[in-house]
Amino acid sequence: MEDNLLRYDKKSVFTFIDLETFNLCLNFIFNRPWQVGIIQVKGDKIIDSQDIRVKWPDSPHLSIGREAAVITRFNPEEHEKLAILPEEAFKIFWPMLVNSDYIIMHNGLRFDLYLLKGFAEMMGVDWKFIMNKVIDTKSVAQGIKMNIPYRKADGTFLEYQYRMANAVVKGIKTNLTALGKEYGIEHDYEQLHHAINDLLLNLKVWDKLKYQLDL
């Protein structure tokens, strides 16, 4: 038994992050997060949780489509009451990423990371440290389902994740709902696309995936 594997790590801080955004564009000029959800885990315990709503008064062109609003349960009145300015939001969630040992996202390499990069650049801080910490559960699940395990001899774990993230195989489903149900995970699937609820499911999915990953 290799005690140094992540599945046995009880000392590191794992930060799960999820962004709900106005649309699916990867350019920060045209798309930004209106909700930032974060859960921090150490061992088997959640040590911190933040549900941050963000308003962008400098970008009046940003608006959420009707269909997207329904899917993500975006409530404009609730948002207006809860949302804080980007500078305030950034001060809450960014130190949590900086102080983490690992940053876990689902489909983060192909989506969330672009917007986190844009957010950091707007605030004038470096974002590249995330790359050495990121674990993308969608990429990991893709590798497992394709029967392509990570091997150190083939390069870095980040390189492996990018290869898996960009591999498209017909019939393989790696969205959170599919993974959760496949693993028999009990969860409120009706409330997905709310950042915190998505994170709680991703945490449960990660607890399954890590036993199939030699890292």
**Is the Cβ–Cβ distance between 33 and 19 less than 8 Å?**
yes
**Is the Cβ–Cβ distance between 143 and 162 less than 8 Å?**
no
pLDDT digits (tens, 9 = 90+) for 68-110: 887 778 888 999 999 999 999 999 999 999 999 999 999 999 9
CA distance 109 to 103: 11
Is 62 within a domain? yes
Is 51 within a domain? yes
Please report the DSSP string for 146-169 in residue order. TT----GGG--HHHHHHHHHT---
Q: Check residue 116 and give its pLDDT.
A: 98
Tokens 């993308």, residue? 136
- Residue 21, phi then psi, degrees to nearest 5: -125, 170
CA distance 160 to 10: 24
Is the model more confident about 6 or about 71?
A: 6
Range of the domain at 91: 6-212
Total domains present in the chain: 1
Is 114 within a domain? yes
Q: Check residue 169 and give its pLDDT.
A: 82
CA distance 101 to 137: 16
Tokens 């917007």, residue? 115
CATH code, domain with 203: 3.30.420.10
Q: Check residue 187 and give its pLDDT.
A: 84
Q: Check residue 4 and give its pLDDT.
A: 83
CA distance 88 to 52: 10
pLDDT digits (tens, 9 = 90+) for 155-205: 999 999 999 999 878 889 999 999 999 999 988 777 666 778 889 999 999
Is 1 within a domain? no
- The two three-digit tokens of residue 72, written as one number: 């993500």
Is 22 within a domain? yes
Q: Check residue 73 and give its pLDDT.
A: 80
- The two three-digit tokens of residue 25, written as one number: 């564009």
pLDDT digits (tens, 9 = 90+) for 35-68: 999 999 999 899 999 999 999 998 888 888 888 8
Is 112 within a domain? yes
Is 151 within a domain? yes
Q: Check residue 17 and give its pLDDT.
A: 97
